[in-house]
């Protein structure tokens, strides 16, 4: 495998929300907020806090890695080396939001639980994040 194809590309979703940065931050960086558009969880705004997201596939362990309110949150997700980053930029009455799902590894590497490759799961999750960010999260922060 050539060097430039050894890592599956990260997922990036970008949106401009008609909501203040405080409202978007509360939606993406509180347990209640995350539950309202993503999944039930026991998240806390503390670096190093280990929490669980209740995914359709069962409880998924996570850990807060970076926290810079109200601009940046990074947490590990699951046991596969994935990181999820939320970046927020204040545009006054609007907020620029970027989601980055990284840490995929080699495209043809098999992920044990689902028995699918990184590339297969990444492509499925890319589609999922599209509707989660542009429909579910948008609805929560713009209502």
Rounded to whole angstroms, what are the CA distances from 49 to 18, 66, 132? Answer: 30, 10, 24
Q: What is the pTM of this model?
A: 0.93
The predicted structure's pLDDT at residue 3: 45
Q: Which residues pair with 11 in a beta bridge?
A: 101
- Tens of pLDDT along 109-138? 888 776 789 899 999 999 999 999 999 999
Burial of 55 (0-12, 13-18, 19+ CB in 10 A): middle
- Tens of pLDDT along 54-96? 988 789 999 999 999 999 999 999 988 999 999 999 999 999 9
In whole angstroms, what is the distance from residue 111 CA to residue 80 CA? 8
Show the CA angle centred on residue 121, arms to residues 117 and 122, nearest 5°.
Answer: 110
Give me 14's structure tokens.
């970008």
Overall average pLDDT of the 28-54 stretch: 98
């Amino acid at each position: 495998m050539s060097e430039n194809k050894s890592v599956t590309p990260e997922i990036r979703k970008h949106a401009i929300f008609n909501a203040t940065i405080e409202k978007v931050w509360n939606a993406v960086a509180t347990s209640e907020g995350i539950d309202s558009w993503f999944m039930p969880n026991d998240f806390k705004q503390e670096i190093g806090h280990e929490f669980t997201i209740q995914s359709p596939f069962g409880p998924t362990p996570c850990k807060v890695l970076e926290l810079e309110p109200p601009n940046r949150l990074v947490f590990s997700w699951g046991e596969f080396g994935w990181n999820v980053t939320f970046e927020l930029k204040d545009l006054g009455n609007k907020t620029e939001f970027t989601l980055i799902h990284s840490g995929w590894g080699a495209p043809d590497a098999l992920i044990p639980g689902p028995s699918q490759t990184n590339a297969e799961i990444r492509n499925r999750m890319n589609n999922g994040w599209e509707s989660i960010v542009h429909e579910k999260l948008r609805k929560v922060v713009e209502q």
